[in-house]
Amino acid sequence: MVYFEALIDEIQLRKSSLEYTETIVDRTYKLENSEFSISGWDNVFAGTAKSIEFNKVQFEQIVGNRDAKHFARRLTERMLSYDFEAKKNPFQELGGFMPVFMGYGIPGTGKSMLIAAIATRLKEHCDHLDIPFLFHPMPRHFN
């Protein structure tokens, strides 16, 4: 939902240059299976997001797959570079987020442990900064 809220903010900045906005102004759109909705140009989401519980894993607990651990650490460090005052991540501005194919592969290769290690590192950093942390898995499939 954070993604959609950011998307709405971006559209708000551009709405004066958009044509055919009547399909937006007089309608309400709701994200399926959530409380998130948009009415006209307004976000009417009133719910709160909750993080799910996960098993905490340190990178040092993962044996093998040195490359995957390296890329996961690097991804985590880049995610942690977010500037809350500027509300942007310099790595995103510079194109430093490379495509990552996580969660793909045969069972038993450490995919879940790697994702848990990333989430653990991000949560520890958020706790240290006293900022909220939201961990929510991607849906199993997209419709």
**What crossing angle do the helices spanning 111-129 and 66-79 adopt, rounded to 10°?**
30
Q: Vertex 127, ends 98 and 4: CA angle to 5°?
A: 50
Write down the domain spans for the chain. 2-43, 59-129
Contact 67, 114 (CB under 8 A): no
pLDDT of residue 142: 45
pTM: 0.60
Gap between the Cα atoms of 143 and 129, Å rounded: 36
Residues of the chain with pLDDT under 70: 1-5, 36, 41-51, 100-103, 137-143
The closest of 41, 12, 44, 43 to 24, measured between CA atoms, is 41
pLDDT of residue 122: 92
